[in-house]
C-alpha cells in the first residue's frame, strides 16, 4: 500500500498545483495532509477548496489554528484574513493527530508538529529517548512543521521517524516542493519504503505574487532560495 503524505502548503498555489499533478500521476492508495494549508501567501482558499473537494484527510497545523485568534487586518495578519468563513470553520474543526493501524507494522502516527503539541519541532537530532516517548506504541511517526525533510531510524531499527518536508515553503536550501510516498509492507514483507519526492514549480510566479501583495517582501526571497 502506498500512502502519500504532504504538509505545509502555506497558500502557495503554484506549488500546490504542481504537487497535485505529480501526486495524481503516482496514483497513491491513500493521501493525508499534515496541516498548515494557510499562511505566508495569497491563495489560502484555493488550497483549502481543493483539499475539501478531494476529501483528503487533513490535520490542523499551527498556522491553521491561528484563525481562532484572528482580530486584526494588518500586514502581520493579512494572509489569514483572506480565508473565507466557511474555510475558517473547516480548518478549526480538523483533528490534531491521525492514527493508522496496519497488521504488518502496527501503528502509524501522523502529526503536524509532534503528537504532543502542534507547534513542537521533532527534528532530526531530537533526543531519541524523547522521540520514543512521543511515539508511544507507534512504529512510524510522520510529522511536518519544520519544513526540513528527513528519515530517521531509531530504537535499534524498530521505529521510524519521517519529516515529510514542505510543499509550498521549503527551508532546506532546495526551493523545490517536497512530499513523501510511504510504502506499507504486507505481513510477508520486512521493510517499509520511504520515498521523498521533490518537484519543480514556478517559484518566480509565486515569489512575484508575494511582492505584488501586502505580504512582507522577504517571503519572496525565502521561496526563491528555500530557507
What confidence score (pLDDT) does residue 187 get? 82
What confidence score (pLDDT) does residue 188 get? 79
What confidence score (pLDDT) does residue 16 get? 98
Q: What dotted CATH number matches 2-225?
A: 3.60.21.10
Separation of alpha carbons 132 and 116, rounded Å = 12
Separation of alpha carbons 41 and 12, rounded Å = 6
SS3 208: helix
What confidence score (pLDDT) does residue 3 get? 98
What are the start-end ranges of the E strands in 50-203? Answer: 57-58, 97-102, 106-111, 140-143, 150-154, 159-163, 177-183, 193-199
Q: Where do the H-state alpha helices sit in the chain? A: 13-26, 44-54, 62-65, 78-81, 85-92, 128-135, 203-211, 218-225
Q: Which of 71, 13, 40, 93 is nearest to 213 (CA)?
A: 40
Going from N- to C-terminal start, the domains of the chain cover 2-225
What confidence score (pLDDT) does residue 74 get? 54
- pLDDT by position in tens, the chain (length 227): 999 999 999 999 999 999 999 999 999 999 999 999 999 999 999 999 999 999 999 999 999 999 998 765 555 788 999 999 999 999 999 999 999 999 999 999 999 999 999 999 999 999 999 999 999 999 999 999 999 999 999 999 999 999 999 999 999 999 999 999 999 998 877 789 999 999 999 999 999 999 999 999 999 999 999 99
Taking the model in full, what pTM does it have? 0.95
What confidence score (pLDDT) does residue 71 get? 62
Amino acid at each position: 500500500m502506498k500512502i502519500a503524505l504532504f504538509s505545509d502548503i502555506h497558500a502557495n498555489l503554484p506549488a500546490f498545483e504542481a504537487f497535485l499533478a505529480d501526486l495524481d500521476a503516482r496514483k497513491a492508495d491513500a493521501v493525508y495532509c499534515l496541516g498548515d494549508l494557510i499562511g505566508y501567501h495569497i491563495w489560502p482558499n484555493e488550497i483549502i477548496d481543493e483539499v475539501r473537494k478531494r476529501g483528503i484527510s487533513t490535520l490542523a497545523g499551527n498556522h491553521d489554528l491561528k484563525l481562532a485568534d484572528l482580530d486584526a487586518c494588518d500586514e502581520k495578519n493579512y494572509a489569514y484574513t483572506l480565508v473565507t468563513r466557511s474555510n475558517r470553520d473547516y480548518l478549526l474543526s480538523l483533528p490534531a493527530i491521525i492514527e493508522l493501524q496496519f497488521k504488518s507494522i502496527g501503528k502509524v502516527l501522523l502529526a503536524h508538529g509532534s503528537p504532543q503539541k502542534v507547534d513542537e519541532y521533532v527534528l532530526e537530532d531530537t533526543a531519541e529517548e524523547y522521540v520514543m516517548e512521543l511515539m508511544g506504541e507507534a512504529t512510524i511517526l510522520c510529522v511536518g512543521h519544520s519544513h526540513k525533510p528527513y528519515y530517521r531510524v531509531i530504537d535499534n531499527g524498530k521505529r521510524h521517524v519521517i519529516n515529510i518536508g514542505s510543499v509550498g515553503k521549503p527551508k532546506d536550501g532546495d526551493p523545490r516542493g517536497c512530499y513523501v510516498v510511504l510504502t506499507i509492507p504486507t505481513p510477508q514483507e520486512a521493510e517499509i519504503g520511504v520515498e521523498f519526492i521533490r518537484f519543480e514549480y514556478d517559484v518566480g510566479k509565486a515569489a512575484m505574487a508575494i511582492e505584488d501583495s501586502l505580504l512582507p517582501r522577504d517571503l519572496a526571497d525565502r521561496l526563491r532560495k528555500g530557507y
